[in-house]
Structure 1
Amino acid sequence: MNYLKSTPDSEGFFGEYGGAMLPPPLEPHFKEIREAYLRISKSAEYIRDLRYIRKHFQGRPTPVSYLKNLSDKCGGAQIYAKREDLNHTGAHKLNHCMGEALLAKHMGKTKLIAETGAGQHGVALATAAAYFGMECEIHMGEIDIEKEAPNVTRMKLLGATVVPVGFGGRSLKEAVDSAFNAYVPQADTTLFAIGSVVGPHPFPMMVRDFQHIVGIEAREQFMEMTGDLPDIVAACVGGGSNAMGLFSGFMDDEGVALYGVEALGTSSNLGDHAATLTYGEDGDIHGFRTIVLKDKDGEPAPVHTIASGLDYPGVGPEHAHLHRTGRVTYTACDDKEALNAFYAISRHEGIIPALESAHAIAFAMREAPKHPGKSILLNLSGRGDKDIDYVTETFGFGEAD
């Protein structure tokens, strides 16, 4: 049976991971979302409206680009990129935000609430709220607000209320905690639009389904460009929405090797990285079962990465499942590798990537010399407008090579 048709099961489990562990006050609201999604998303009206939005507002399909200069520089495999940085708002996030907002409209909701790390999900949801005439509330860690100032400005210009989160690590995990707490008293009129393939069922499935458009387009475009499927498909993984979007187009192609690239930060020591699948263990976080980075007390551990959107001590349950089954191989790139990739693709291809996407680029640059005659397709999940001030002020403009 087709993988996407059979996974997850009716309870939202991908193998042993997933599910919905909710406090009693939230159970009816998530049941409402699940039932509405299963019913509404299959209707001809919903599908028609979403297709119109994809084409006439988002600017889809985004292209696949052959990175000739980078391929020549690295040697070995030929490198291609699915250009989600050219999706409206500059990242893949709008794919699920427009789907979630359209669902909220059909459900009679008047407000959207969410967390954000790098700010791309926040910008995308604020954009969707403006498009549909809805209120929007975004929770964001104070550290990320400082690092990603351009995206904070964009959210406010789009009419969103940005709520700074100042407790704990003041980053993505705490933003999720804060958004959940704020959602409870307004759940009757508000949809919690989770920003990745994480959270209680149905969100890991729902966000993956909305991001599936990336994989559908990429597979067709790559075949048209080359006459064959890619040998290697790679994407960065934090929560994992951009990766599941791309992987979903190739899941049933046994000859295509899939690689998820985590953030190794500054070292393998706990607290210095966000490589959950590489160093984590089974556990629960934010209402679902997955693999989690834990501290000595068994609680979600502090994490670090140069890329705010990968700054999460858990991972989507589907990624945990794919890791355990071996269908996807998970590896990691550190801050230095990601930064070098950021400069390299900027200089050699005229593309300034998001720091999150730079992890996938770093992987492709590292692997290309090992695979002459092969092809690598990576997901360039976002553009780097949000990161340029932070990068140049902290690390300079890089050395010409």
Structure 2
Amino acid sequence: MLANYFKEFPNQEGFFNEYGGAFIPPQLESEMRKINDAYFAISKSHKFISELRDIRKHFQGRPTPVYHCNRLSQKYGGQIYLKREDLNHTGAHKLNHCMGEALLAKYMGKKKLIAETGAGQHGVALATAAAYFGLECEIHMGEVDMKKEYPNVQRMKILGATVVPVSHGLKTLKEAVDSAFEAYLEDPINTIYCIGSVVGPHPFPMMVRDFQRIVGIEAKDQFFDMTGELPDNIVACVGGGSNAMGIFSAFLNDAACRLYGIEPAGKSLSTIGDHAATMTHGKPGIIHGFKCYLLQDENGEPAAVHSVASGLDYPGIGPEHSMLRDLNKVTYESISDKECIDAFFELSRLEGIIPALESSHAVAFAMKLAKENPKQSILVNLSGRGDKDLDYVIENFGLPQ
């Protein structure tokens, strides 16, 4: 990779090679330019950087630790480590970019934050950021996900956010993005759409990646301090891909570190609508204002998707991930619903850590990888905690005997 990678990608038009860009209505073009200009202005500002660092330390509780899974490693082989983003305030990595986006909104004089959410972690994080900065907040969420992630719905409301149920289509993450984008179009002057992952039109994939880079920066230093070397393998779940880009970003120039993005194989990889394995079965297409690998139906439209993890059931993926796939810099694999649930319980019972179902995909792959490579180290980005998933898991899968 290039030594100045983060200055080269994306380019000025927001492209990561052929992916990304901004395929948006004309009335939004000037607003996106304003957001882009404002971001570049404040991201170089000592005042902005100092305030964000202060927030991360005193409000978010960063740095989050790296933890060695002793019992899990003994059972499956290898040496499995976790970057504990589940210990970040609000229980996931999402607050890393939400506080940055909200600080940008405050700088631009915006009055309201609008966003989508799948598993609810981005919604909770943005509602938290809005409360911190004294801004209004509106979160769009599919009705299916609202039922699955009921505790997070209540958390958003307690934090003062308005939760808008989305009742069309599959009533999940894609439809929530559609709904939030439409709401943003009604008043782009006073509101800002705070996208929840490294997706959407430029400059959002770049901005979210940059705010999430703190995960990789911390993890690289922490792992080296613990072991005297870098990890052989880095594993992260991928839906849109923000937590993965966060941790991958620090290792892109380390050829000895193998990077794995884990997406949902769902119920079956052979049937459209039963999985969300974008990198396995997708092809380049445009969704929500950007170009990426995309699961498509016979008409070229975004296909129906499924995952037991609400935060991963998205037919597209971040444009930077799409580029890294083509460059063979990251290997993308998939994990089934069953493997995910098994890993959910395994980490809980062996290590006392209840992971989010999204993160459980990465844990499941790490367990398989450890069996195949018993002498190697594996660093998993544990992107969130599983409190939000408890009712859904017990109701649908019960407790293991």
* Same fold (TM > 0.5): yes
Partner residue of 1:206?
A: 207
**Aligned mates of 1:144, 1:221 — CA distance in 2:** 35
Q: CA deviation at 1:265?
A: 0.1
Alignment partner for residue 285 of structure 1, among 282, 287, 299?
287
Per-residue CA deviation, residues 140-183 of structure 1 (Å, 9 max, x unaligned), is 00000000000000000000000000001100000000000000
**Aligned mates of 2:165, 2:259 — CA distance in 1:** 36
Partner residue of 1:336?
A: 338
Partner residue of 2:369?
A: 367
**Aligned mates of 1:397, 1:221 — CA distance in 2:** 35
**Aligned mates of 2:139, 2:17 — CA distance in 1:** 32
**Aligned mates of 1:398, 1:55 — CA distance in 2:** 38
Mapping of 1:372-391 within 5 angstroms? 372-391=374-393
Partner residue of 1:154?
A: 155
**Aligned mates of 1:368, 1:6 — CA distance in 2:** 35
**Aligned mates of 2:41, 2:26 — CA distance in 1:** 24
State the TM-score, normalizing by the size of structure 2. 0.99
Per-residue CA deviation, residues 236-277 of structure 1 (Å, 9 max, x unaligned), is 000000000000011111110000000000001111000001
Mapping of 1:96-175 within 5 angstroms? 96-175=97-176
Which amino acid letter does the alignment assign opposite residue 21 of structure 1?
Answer: F
Partner residue of 2:354?
A: 352
**Aligned mates of 2:6, 2:381 — CA distance in 1:** 20
Which amino acid letter does the alignment assign opposite residue 297 of structure 2?
Answer: D
**Aligned mates of 2:176, 2:243 — CA distance in 1:** 20
Partner residue of 1:16?
A: 18
SS at match of 1:267: coil
Alignment partner for residue 327 of structure 2, among 321, 325, 334?
325
Which amino acid letter does the alignment assign opposite residue 57 of structure 2?
Answer: K
**Aligned mates of 1:169, 1:25 — CA distance in 2:** 28
Preserved contact between residue 2 and residue 252 of structure 1 (Cα < 8 Å): no
Q: CA deviation at 1:203?
A: 0.4
Partner residue of 1:194?
A: 195
Q: CA deviation at 1:2?
A: 2.7
SS at match of 1:20: coil
Per-residue CA deviation, residues 107-128 of structure 1 (Å, 9 max, x unaligned), is 1111100000000000000000
Q: CA deviation at 1:5?
A: 2.6
Partner residue of 1:66?
A: 68
Q: CA deviation at 1:372?
A: 2.1
Preserved contact between residue 333 and residue 363 of structure 1 (Cα < 8 Å): yes
Preserved contact between residue 41 and residue 103 of structure 1 (Cα < 8 Å): no
**Aligned mates of 2:28, 2:162 — CA distance in 1:** 23
**Aligned mates of 1:191, 1:162 — CA distance in 2:** 16
Partner residue of 2:268?
A: 267
Aligned length: 398
Alignment partner for residue 59 of structure 2, among 48, 57, 60?
57
SS at match of 2:388: coil
Mapping of 1:246-261 within 5 angstroms? 246-261=247-262
Alignment partner for residue 317 of structure 2, among 296, 315, 318?
315
**Aligned mates of 2:328, 2:339 — CA distance in 1:** 25
**Aligned mates of 1:72, 1:267 — CA distance in 2:** 31
Which amino acid letter does the alignment assign opposite residue 340 of structure 1?
Answer: D
Q: CA deviation at 1:42?
A: 1.0
Partner residue of 2:299?
A: 297
SS at match of 1:295: coil
Give the gaps of 5 or more residues in structure 2.
Answer: none
**Aligned mates of 1:229, 1:101 — CA distance in 2:** 34
Q: CA deviation at 1:185?
A: 1.5
Which amino acid letter does the alignment assign opposite residue 124 of structure 1?
Answer: A
- Computed over aligned residues only, the root mean square deviation of the Cα atoms, in angstroms, reads 0.6
How much identity, in percent, do the aligned residues show? 67
**Aligned mates of 2:255, 2:304 — CA distance in 1:** 36
Which amino acid letter does the alignment assign opposite residue 324 of structure 2?
Answer: L
**Aligned mates of 1:87, 1:226 — CA distance in 2:** 23
**Aligned mates of 1:358, 1:50 — CA distance in 2:** 29
**Aligned mates of 1:23, 1:205 — CA distance in 2:** 20
Alignment partner for residue 33 of structure 2, among 24, 28, 31?
31
SS at match of 1:25: helix
Preserved contact between residue 113 and residue 183 of structure 1 (Cα < 8 Å): yes
SS at match of 2:163: strand
Preserved contact between residue 116 and residue 195 of structure 1 (Cα < 8 Å): yes
Q: CA deviation at 1:134?
A: 0.4
Q: CA deviation at 1:290?
A: 0.5
Mapping of 1:212-223 within 5 angstroms? 212-223=213-224
**Aligned mates of 1:295, 1:175 — CA distance in 2:** 19
Q: CA deviation at 1:207?
A: 0.1
